[in-house]
Amino acid sequence: MAYSHRFISSCAALMLVSEIWKQWTLTFILGAGRYNLWYFPFQLCSIPMYVCIALLFFGRKNEKLTSLLLSFLMSFGLLGGIFAFFDTSGMHYLYAPLTIHSYAWHILLIILGCYCGLCKKTERSYRGLCFSISLYLVCCLIATGFNLLFYRFGEINMFYINPYYTMNQKFFWRIAASFGNTAGILSYIMASMIGAALFHLLFHRICHSLAKHKIMNFI
């Protein structure tokens, strides 16, 4: 599948506009004019928006960076989209349009991840995986910085790894309960990397098989 700058640009614009609408709605319709740090757009499922915006500006200028960013969307973007549906409690709001937006957002992540997985320009090598994991860990560090700096101003739990909150993600809360919150957080981060690596490997094998049987040219 050939790389489509128009498709990525459309995703970037759609995600940015809908995120602005979401933040406005949460603040002025549900929050009575008070901003809730809990909904600050820096979760794993929010990062693809920033990646798409980066691709919008650099996608035609730097092919190497483009291929690496597409690799991130293929692995961690798809991971965030799929696994959100294993626990949809955080996707439901008192305002129905926000709930619809949340479901649509994660479906778009899945579509975007699969598109990047089959895109010829995506870096599906070990290098692409290392870049994706490195970017994810950088985002974890930034999220931790947000959590520690802004915790005093309200509830905030970026990437669900705020040490001030007990890990409450499915399965990992059991690890936190048995071995401590730090173990729960670290196991959550490690599991995310393993999951993304599995998606990376899956698409590597799929595309290798398609290319081997000369099917890739027809996708």
How confident is the model at residue 166, as a pLDDT?
93
- For the residues 152-166, what does the mean pLDDT come to? 95
The pLDDT-based confidence of 218 (bands split at 50, 70, 90) is: very low
Encode 123-142: b = buried (16+ Cβ within 10 Å), e = exposed.
bbeeebbebbbebbeebbee
- For the residues 3-29, what does the mean pLDDT come to? 96
User: With 60 as the cut, is the pLDDT of residue 179 above it?
Assistant: yes
- From residue 101, alpha-carbon distances to 13, 108, 204 in Å are 15, 10, 31
What's the rounded Cα separation, in Å, for the pair 183 and 179?
6
How confident is the model at residue 86, as a pLDDT?
93
- For the residues 65-72, what does the mean pLDDT come to? 97
The pLDDT-based confidence of 208 (bands split at 50, 70, 90) is: confident
How confident is the model at residue 64, as a pLDDT?
95
Contacts of 114 (CB under 8 A, 6+ apart): 78
**pLDDT tens readout for residues 75-85:** 999 999 999 99
The pLDDT-based confidence of 217 (bands split at 50, 70, 90) is: low
- For the residues 199-217, what does the mean pLDDT come to? 84
The pLDDT-based confidence of 184 (bands split at 50, 70, 90) is: very high
Mean pLDDT is lowest, of 57-71, 113-127, 203-217, for 203-217
Whole-number mean pLDDT of the chain? Answer: 94
How confident is the model at residue 215, as a pLDDT?
65
DSSP letter at 41?
Answer: S
Record the pTM: 0.95
